[in-house]
Amino acid sequence: RSRQDILSTNRRLMQRERTLDLMEAMNKSKAQVLELAEKNLDTIVPAYTNGVQAQPTTFAHYLLAFSSAFGRDSARLQESYARLNLSPLGAGALGTSSFPVDRKRLAELLGFDGPIENSYDAAQLGALDQGMELVSLCSNAALTIGILVQDFHTQYHQPYPWIMIQEGRLTGTSSIMPQKRNPYGLNVLRLQASDIVGGAMTFQLEAHNVSPGMPDYKRDQVEKTLELTSNAFVKLADLLDNLVIDKARALQEVDADYSTTTELADILQRDSDVPFRVGHHFASDLVTYGRTNKMKPADIPFDVVQQIYTEAVKKFDFERTQFPLTQAQYKKSLTAQNMLDSSKGLGGPQRAEVERMLVVEKNKLAKDVAWLDQQRQKLAAASAKLDQTFYKLGK
């Protein structure tokens, strides 16, 4: 009986429990993501690259991207759990014992899937790399949570945001400015995501350049990080349940900018055989004119559009200088709905693809829920068997 393998075993038991708790919190959070997505299949919102409005999408399409990312975290967690759920017990300090300890039997009674075979690894090395794997997984999930929260925060910054938080416990007024509704739900979750990343780095620093047998990486930092990550997913689910989405305001933000001009260039190439570089240059000149004159895309007079096109194509010695679209075709090309409906690619924002992906994500979630239930049933059965075994020994 050595503190070395007993401590390593206790750590794995505690980390196993917290890993399953994390999986439960992730499942609940993902369920909330999917519920919100299903409610917003037709909610057109702006999407951004480099911090600038890029193209329109739907809020459902956007949320399903995060569901997919969190799904990878779930897969990693299950893969990690298979390595975590192995028993160090019976390894002794590092070289087992002269007593005939049945390590496989010990693993079975504690609900492990088997023992860590090499006793030196079991008592001295496994806690380091297994802990690093778990905190890294937590850090990765926290990065995705942070991205989502920061996106919401960017919208919340606006005078008339299309994402709001239901007034109440997740918002708060300023102590001096009565007009403010501070997004406490966002602030706390973003800070907690940073704490998770910091916790992962703390474990890495504790474990760095430490010789085997030292207690540095065998303390409770992994458990703390797992608990903090579970709590972050609980907070995320609560936040998503309290969001207020203004569909009309979101569409106004899309219509106020030029994010559909990609489709205008595509239509010119696809329907009128205008080379994309020519159509792209025209669309860029159109944007420059509109922004310079403080006009929305739909407000630019059609005769000005025709003139801009004629001037733009001359730079390429393109012989067809007359704008090939009718006014009705041009107006339609600039609508966000037309751009979404025109999407053809796998995984795109078109309604049919979003509905298909929603079904896929729901099926993945159902499998994750079933996996968690299976693991907990196995542990409950092992615990009952352990009690029965001790009871028999007492007789």
Q: Are 243 and 166 in contact (CB under 8 A)?
A: yes
Q: Assign 218 a pLDDT band (cuts: 50, 70, 90).
A: confident
Q: Which residues contact 85 (CB under 8 A, 6 or more apart)?
A: 12, 16, 111, 112, 113
Within a 13 Å sphere around the CA of 91, how many CA atoms are in the beta-carbon half?
27
Q: Assign 393 a pLDDT band (cuts: 50, 70, 90).
A: confident
Q: Which residues contact 90 (CB under 8 A, 6 or more apart)?
A: 5, 96, 97, 101, 102, 103, 106, 115, 119
Alpha-carbon distances, residue 68 vs 64, 269, 359 (angstroms): 6, 33, 12
Mind listing the pLDDT tens digit for each residue in 77-97?
999 999 999 999 999 999 999
Strand, helix or coil for residue 84: helix
Distance in Å from the first CA to the final CA of the chain: 24
Q: What is the pLDDT of residue 159?
A: 86
Find the Cα–Cα–Cα–Cα dihedral 40, 45, 49, 51, rounded to 10°: -120
Q: Assign 42 a pLDDT band (cuts: 50, 70, 90).
A: very high
Alpha-carbon 47 to chain mean position: 16
Query: Distance between CA 123 and CA 92 in Å, rounded?
Result: 7
Structure tokens at 179: 């007009």
Query: Distance between CA 334 and CA 327 in Å, rounded?
Result: 11
Position 307, amino acid = Q
Q: Which residues contact 157 (CB under 8 A, 6 or more apart)?
A: none
Q: Assign 284 a pLDDT band (cuts: 50, 70, 90).
A: very high
pLDDT surpasses 80 at 394: no
Q: What is the pLDDT of residue 89?
A: 97
| pLDDT (mean) for 291-297 | 93
pLDDT surpasses 80 at 395: no
DSSP H or E stretch at residue 52? strand 52-58
Phi, psi dihedral angles at 250 (to 5 degrees):
-65, -45
pLDDT > 90 in the chain, percent: 87
Mind listing the pLDDT tens digit for each residue in 147-187?
999 999 998 888 889 999 999 999 988 889 888 888 999 99
Average pLDDT, the chain: 95
| pLDDT (mean) for 235-246 | 96
| pLDDT (mean) for 228-236 | 98
Q: Assign 4 a pLDDT band (cuts: 50, 70, 90).
A: very high
Mind listing the pLDDT tens digit for each residue in 83-135?
999 999 999 999 999 999 999 999 999 999 999 999 999 999 999 999 999 99
pLDDT > 70 in the chain, percent: 100
Q: What is the pLDDT of residue 173?
A: 84
Q: Which residues in 151-205 belong to E strands, given as ranges?
A: 163-165
Q: Assign 317 a pLDDT band (cuts: 50, 70, 90).
A: confident
| pLDDT (mean) for 235-255 | 96
pLDDT surpasses 80 at 1: no
Q: Which residues contact 116 (CB under 8 A, 6 or more apart)?
A: 86, 87, 88, 91, 122, 126
